[in-house]
Chain A
């Protein structure tokens, strides 16, 4: 094992070092999804190497393969220059690889010491020599400057202390390569700083460190190299000194790449133009006059003006995170009738908390939420739904659907006490089934019928069911999280059309999406969240990918000169507030 002291954390010399880890052309499929597609990774000894990517990019799968948890379908792994087959975590540990996952592997009832030596106990004639073990563990921890309490039960430790104990455990087993899966996901900022200080010390003493994250700030501050994954492929490897957060973000989300979603967006725009005549939803005139593909309804067919009351108004809302600390701080925004406000942001920036606060799943710490001018901030989810607030949750299988319910029953969820379905006592089953069949057809859900269980549907069709429920009736406000996740191009385009249709009936949509292309394709105004703050909201016409990207990594909303507010003729749309706009009746 090469532990050349010259390879200090911040000064790796790529030319001099043989990579300690080489993963070449790794491909790994799970039923229905290719998690890793021809991924290669080379990590040099004694460095801190970050692996970044959005959820589902394949980061955890790749590390799972390195740790022997999964077997790659194709590809080779070399550790320290030797070809190896890592068929189990035990083999990985024997090769000097340790992994600290997001979920602890420690038995809560056992002490830290017992957990650390479990499976590798120093023993004399079969009896555990606990004194020797304690001495070794304490010595190891002290040499690294880690404070642990060996006698404490693991279940009584804080998450930060547990993580340190996990690191000690991995090192005790002889790890010279340490993998950390989103190590700061559960840590407070100060704890995260302490963790990285420790990782730097370990790297200086020769340990190779790989950490998975989607926080670019951490990558820039602490890694010396970074590999970016997107959609199961590795899309770039950079030295930190040669890159910046913008470039990494671009790689992560594939900005401007000819991604399926970009095509979708363009397709949706075209589709809108085509349908102006036939569907009778949009007036043709102004588009032709201006020579721009601006949907004409914005130019006067909509009862929206500066004076109109916003459908949704969020004023200074703060919400506690799952672990008590504020997850979102003092957020204010408003959505006009018929408007789409798209919120971009790296996953985990507070989008979920904001969405849940608006629909009523999370109590407010402070602030107020108004729907059509009336305070709804303390109403239950059900009451808000009755007033027309619908929700497309992020996790469709857990929160969106009841998988063992029939499709028609899933479409009924939340409305089972409405008058049209029986008024709260006996359900009008024939009607529920008939309307279910109708919605299944209208929403193009591929299902054997409305009485088929939701479990049997493909992911995309499950998403369609969730969307159909959220658009059912005449909602006032739709809070949509990732409404096209898992949908193919055509299906996503259809969702956008459905949104347009509802918008024209006055629906206000607050869209949360990790897909910048999607946000730009269908939003009238665009905002970005970072670390619990709404960094700003910009009209679509003045928004640029660069500007929003800046905000997503914590930059100021002020537009740099690099992105002048020139309208993008490809699919640009003006801001919705439309002074003097009159209702010509076409949109409703």
Chain B
């Protein structure tokens, strides 16, 4: 009972702190004297909320923005449950997106029932491969995964940048982008500007799958055992290295699918630097969600809402959209500090 209360109290405190700091910042910079400045903060948040959840379009936009956050948030969750801090979701998402774009435009003449799964699987595989490198280095040499995943991010950013400017570039467009994926490899999406797509259902299915994996399967048991007690896991015969690599690959695959969904449902091609940092935001999503599939789903909705409501907030109250970044950063700080302290103590 108390454990459950605490698991809810922690994100609540983090959110209160985050919005509190954001409110102070808004109040301090809006140019109004004190009592009215607090009103300005309140109005900004109200506009933010209206923009995110106030009408159907806002809600659909929120759900669309939540989709890649949910998938990559699950990616970070799976790795962190095994005790690995996967900072590399961004890179895995980029290579996953590019691989699925290539599979989407280069493979001709397949029916949708085959082509679409193949394109998604291509994204998952590329992401898994990208995460395999830090995973195997960790298991084999003990190289710290944070360092390697960060470096792999840079490689992914520059590699995709090169490929999409060179060999994979669509010569018929002025954008730096791959050719459009064939209709047979596209994920259904709502016409219009909301970007809402069936990718959301894929992400929700992934959330259910991750919950099942962690709670109900032998592999999930091993992942949790390695994350919570690596020495005991080793002494009781769990292959720690193999479990670490598996968890990391699963994590990379989920991030790769996040990239694939963005490409196959939203842009229909790989646009250079299409990700506004989903892979990084997903760390906050995973931590805020308490490394639990349900919590991560709720946290991705919240962060998706922040992103989708930010424009409405700016047009109505002239509060800069960057304040959303402040909220996210404060969440990471508030939860991350606790996480690090817990790790040290344990």
Query: Distance (Å) between the CB of A136 and the closest chain B CB?
Result: 38
A391 to B217, CA, bound (A): 24
What is the interface residue range for chain A against chain B?
35 or more
The verdict on B229 contacting chain A, using a C-beta distance below 8 Å, is yes
Contact indicator B235/A400 (Cβ below 8 Å): yes
Query: Distance (Å) between the CB of B211 and the closest chain A CB?
Result: 13
A409 to B236, CA, bound (A): 12
Q: List B residues 217-254 near A (Cβ within 8 Å).
A: 217-218, 221-222, 224-225, 228-229, 231-239
Contact indicator B232/A402 (Cβ below 8 Å): yes
Q: Mark A360-381, 1 if CB is under 8 A from B, else 0.
A: 1100000000000000000011
Contact indicator B221/A412 (Cβ below 8 Å): yes
Contact indicator A381/B234 (Cβ below 8 Å): yes
The verdict on A10 contacting chain B, using a C-beta distance below 8 Å, is no
Query: Distance (Å) between the CB of B103 and the closest chain A CB?
Result: 29
Partner of B233, one of A383, A402, A403, A429: A402
Contact indicator B237/A405 (Cβ below 8 Å): no
Partner of B234, one of A361, A383, A425, A426: A361
The verdict on B141 contacting chain A, using a C-beta distance below 8 Å, is no
Query: Given A416-B221, A426-B217, do A402 and B237 touch, yes or no (CB 8 Å)?
Result: no
Query: Given A424-B218, A427-B218, A427-B221, do A399 and B231 touch, yes or no (CB 8 Å)?
Result: yes
Question: In the complex, which residues of chain A have a beta carbon less than 8 angstroms from the beta carbon of B6?
Answer: none
The verdict on B341 contacting chain A, using a C-beta distance below 8 Å, is no
Query: Given A426-B217, A427-B218, A429-B216, do A413 and B236 touch, yes or no (CB 8 Å)?
Result: yes
Question: In the complex, which residues of chain A have a beta carbon less than 8 angstroms from the beta carbon of B217?
Answer: 425-427
Contact indicator B239/A425 (Cβ below 8 Å): no
A379 to B201, CA, bound (A): 44
Question: In the complex, which residues of chain A have a beta carbon less than 8 angstroms from the beta carbon of B232?
Answer: 398-402, 413
Query: Distance (Å) between the CB of B335 and the closest chain A CB?
Result: 18
Which residue of chain A lies nearest to B237 when distances are taken between CB atoms in the complex?
A382
A384 to B234, CA, bound (A): 13
Query: Distance (Å) between the CB of A408 and the closest chain B CB?
Result: 11
Partner of A413, one of B238, B239, B346: B238
Partner of A416, one of B218, B231, B235: B218
Contact indicator A405/B218 (Cβ below 8 Å): no
Residue among B222, B229, B238, B346 with the highest chain A CB neighbour number at 10 A: B229
Question: In the complex, which residues of chain B have a beta carbon less than 8 angstroms from the beta carbon of A405?
Answer: 224-225, 228-229
Query: Distance (Å) between the CB of A454 and the closest chain B CB?
Result: 10
Question: In the complex, which residues of chain A have a beta carbon less than 8 angstroms from the beta carbon of B233?
Answer: 402, 413
Residue among B229, B232, B236, B346 with the highest chain A CB neighbour number at 10 A: B236
Query: Distance (Å) between the CB of A67 and the closest chain B CB?
Result: 24
Partner of A382, one of B218, B221, B238, B346: B238
Contact indicator A404/B235 (Cβ below 8 Å): no
The verdict on A422 contacting chain B, using a C-beta distance below 8 Å, is yes
A360 to B239, CA, bound (A): 12
Q: List B residues 141-165 near A (Cβ within 8 Å).
A: none
A413 to B231, CA, bound (A): 12
A179 to B25, CA, bound (A): 54
Query: Distance (Å) between the CB of A396 and the closest chain B CB?
Result: 9
A79 to B234, CA, bound (A): 48
A421 to B237, CA, bound (A): 16
Query: Distance (Å) between the CB of B209 and the closest chain A CB?
Result: 12
A537 to B339, CA, bound (A): 50
Contact indicator A427/B228 (Cβ below 8 Å): no
Q: Mark B31-53, 1 if CB is under 8 A from A, else 0.
A: 00000000000000000000000
The verdict on A417 contacting chain B, using a C-beta distance below 8 Å, is yes
The verdict on A385 contacting chain B, using a C-beta distance below 8 Å, is yes
Query: Distance (Å) between the CB of A450 and the closest chain B CB?
Result: 15
Contact indicator B222/A416 (Cβ below 8 Å): yes
Which residue of chain B lies nearest to A424 when distances are taken between CB atoms in the complex?
B218
The verdict on A414 contacting chain B, using a C-beta distance below 8 Å, is yes
Q: Mark A56-84, 1 if CB is under 8 A from B, else 0.
A: 00000000000000000000000000000
Residue among B225, B233, B237 with the highest chain A CB neighbour number at 10 A: B237
Query: Given A402-B225, A403-B229, A404-B228, do A361 and B235 touch, yes or no (CB 8 Å)?
Result: yes
Query: Distance (Å) between the CB of B227 and the closest chain A CB?
Result: 9
A360 to B224, CA, bound (A): 22
Question: In the complex, which residues of chain A have a beta carbon less than 8 angstroms from the beta carbon of B235?
Answer: 359, 361, 381, 391, 393, 399-400
Complex A-B: 29 CB contacts under 8 Å: A359-B235, A360-B237, A361-B235, A381-B234, A381-B235, A381-B236, A384-B237, A385-B236, A386-B237, A391-B236, A399-B234, A400-B232, A400-B235, A401-B229, A402-B232, A403-B346, A404-B229, A404-B346, A405-B229, A412-B221, A413-B232, A413-B233, A413-B238, A414-B236, A414-B237, A425-B218, A427-B216, A427-B217, A427-B221
The 8 closest A-B CB pairs, nearest first, are: A402-B229, A382-B237, A414-B236, A413-B236, A381-B237, A385-B237, A414-B237, A399-B235
Task: Enumerate chain A interface residues (CB-CB to B < 8 A).
Answer: 359-361, 380-386, 391, 393, 395, 398-405, 409, 412-414, 416-417, 421-422, 424-427, 429, 469
For the complex with contacts A405-B228, A416-B222, 20 further pairs of A-B residues with Cβ separation under 8 Å are: A360-B237, A380-B237, A382-B238, A383-B237, A398-B231, A400-B232, A400-B235, A402-B232, A404-B228, A405-B224, A412-B221, A413-B225, A416-B218, A416-B221, A424-B218, A425-B217, A425-B218, A426-B216, A427-B217, A469-B236
